[in-house]
Amino acid sequence: MTSYLVLIALSFVTAFALTPLVRRIGLRVGAASSIRDRDVHSVPIPKLGGVAMIIAILVGLGVASRMDFLQGSFADPGPAVGVLVGALLALVLGIVDDLLDLRWYVQLVGQVSIGTVVALSGVRLEAMPVGWIGIKSGPVQFALTVFLIVLTMNAINFVDGLDGLAAGVAVIGATAFFIYCYTLARTINQFDHSNFAAMLMALLLGACLGFLPHNFNPAKIFMGESGALIIGLMMSVAAIMVTADVGAQEGYRFRNIPAYMPIILPVAVILLPLLDFALAVIRRTAHGRSPFSADRGHLHHKLVDGGYTQRQAVLVLYLWSGIVAFGSVAFIFRQFDWKTIVAVDLLLAIGAGYLTMRPWLRRGVAQRRHAAGLDRPPHHGSGNEPPGDAGG
């Protein structure tokens, strides 16, 4: 655990220290966001924040490769090389997009290129983690791997609409995923707790934590395209790698690790971005528009339009992310009864649901009171009151 904590601290300090520098560069080169109808900020804010995150992750990856504790994770250098090259491509694509505002199809080509590089490095989805149904076809493995990486990148990108939202959701998801990966490593091998997916989540957690203070409302800088790309890349690669870890351990699959956790948890930690992504695609397609066109119909926009401030809306979405992510990871601990976990998750979800709908509920109550005349001020001077009772 000490090695992972060192990596978290290293990527945190690096991202935290570099972000102000990147902000100044962004202002100097003109990489500031213009004000659009769907935006919730009123002044241009520099982008390129993801550059600091990527550098922090790459620095951490280099240090991790020299740690004796993590040598097992680098025994096969392919995945590490894939992440390295993929991160560099994300860096270039993100900077170009933040400067030139690329068309959606150009971004998609870049995302597919990143996924292709990672898949060629040996990171492949070799089994569906529902009962570990093997995928024998190499081309199918390749296509599914690229699809998962591109899907996760776009899901993160779609949720990046309020100050600190995407970075905070990534912190919550990376923390939950790290707990799962580390617990899995300890379960599989009591002598070697190194795990490639856990290492990736430690680096992502630190980088997002270091960036978040600069990005939380009121934001001084946005993560931009590069930030969404690196978060999606790290999350998807970790999900694929941890599926392979569990699938290779038949003896531990049902005895120590719940059978469906490798698919439940990756989905759970990015459920909010995935849900927002799916709703956006349905909404835009139904109106005859491109699924990648921009609008103001995202979940975070609805909360702000409903009456929440930016900061309140972000905290509500943090709450939902935490309930789903940590509520899912709790199932891996055998000392917790699953019925108790379900009950607690359900109670928390009900509370979060009430909190989410509170502005609309209050508005509905006010409208009903107004319709019933209960909120009308006292009416004086109708001519029926005794003299002297209508004032004073």
- At 125-169, the pLDDT tens digits run 877 655 556 778 889 999 999 998 998 898 888 777 778 988 998
- As a whole number, the mean pLDDT across the chain is 81
H helices of the chain, where? 2-29, 49-64, 77-100, 104-120, 138-159, 165-188, 196-215, 224-247, 250-253, 261-269, 271-286, 299-306, 310-329, 338-372
How high is the pLDDT of residue 329? 84
Do residues 119 and 86 touch, judged by C-beta distance below 8 A?
Answer: no
Q: Which two tokens stand for residue 249?
A: 């351990």
How high is the pLDDT of residue 320? 87
pTM: 0.82
42 residue type, one letter = S
Question: 315 vs 89, 101, 282, 319, CA distance in Å?
Answer: 32, 29, 26, 6
Do residues 176 and 326 touch, judged by C-beta distance below 8 A?
Answer: yes
Q: Average the pLDDT over 31-43 and give the result.
A: 59
How high is the pLDDT of residue 119? 96
How high is the pLDDT of residue 390? 38
How high is the pLDDT of residue 42? 57
Q: Which of the pair, 53 or 33, is modelled with greater confidence?
A: 53
How high is the pLDDT of residue 294? 63
Residue 265, SS3 per DSSP: helix
Do residues 118 and 124 touch, judged by C-beta distance below 8 A?
Answer: no
Check pLDDT > 50 for residue 203.
Answer: yes
Q: Average the pLDDT over 175-202 and give the result.
A: 83
Q: Which of the pair, 299 or 323, is modelled with greater confidence?
A: 323
With tokens 């319709």, the residue in question is 371
Q: What is the pLDDT of residues 326-376, one digit of tens each?
A: 888 888 777 778 788 889 989 999 998 888 888 777 766 666 666 776 655
Q: Average the pLDDT over 85-106 and give the result.
A: 93
Check pLDDT > 70 for residue 186.
Answer: yes
pLDDT confidence tier of residue 254, bands split at 50, 70 and 90: very low
Q: Which of the pair, 177 or 58, is modelled with greater confidence?
A: 58
109 CB-near residues (< 8 Å, 6+ apart) = none
Q: Which of the pair, 43 or 200, is modelled with greater confidence?
A: 200
Check whether the bond before 218 is cis (ω within 30° of 0). Answer: yes
- Range of lowest pLDDT (55-69, 219-233, 257-271): 257-271
How high is the pLDDT of residue 217? 87
Do residues 313 and 300 touch, judged by C-beta distance below 8 A?
Answer: yes
Most confident listed range (30-39, 106-115, 234-243, 266-275) = 106-115
pLDDT confidence tier of residue 253, bands split at 50, 70 and 90: very low
Do residues 298 and 306 touch, judged by C-beta distance below 8 A?
Answer: no
Most confident listed range (15-19, 224-228, 246-250) = 15-19
Check pLDDT > 70 for residue 96.
Answer: yes
Q: Tell me the percentage of the chain whose pLDDT exceeds 70.
A: 74
**How many other C-beta atoms can be found within 10 angstroms of the C-beta atom of residue 103?**
11
Q: Average the pLDDT over 176-195 and give the result.
A: 79
Question: Which of 258, 247, 240 lies closest to 134, judged by CA?
Answer: 247
Q: Average the pLDDT over 297-322 and give the result.
A: 79
How high is the pLDDT of residue 39? 52
Which long-range contacts does 76-82 make (Cβ < 8 Å, 24+ apart)?
76/122, 78/121, 78/122, 78/123, 79/121, 79/122, 79/123, 79/196, 79/237, 79/241, 80/196, 81/121, 82/117, 82/118, 82/119, 82/120, 82/121, 82/122, 82/123, 82/237
Give the whole-angstrom CA distance, residue 298 versus residue 334.
Answer: 37
Give the whole-angstrom CA distance, residue 21 versus residue 276.
Answer: 32
- DSSP at 287: T
pLDDT confidence tier of residue 33, bands split at 50, 70 and 90: low
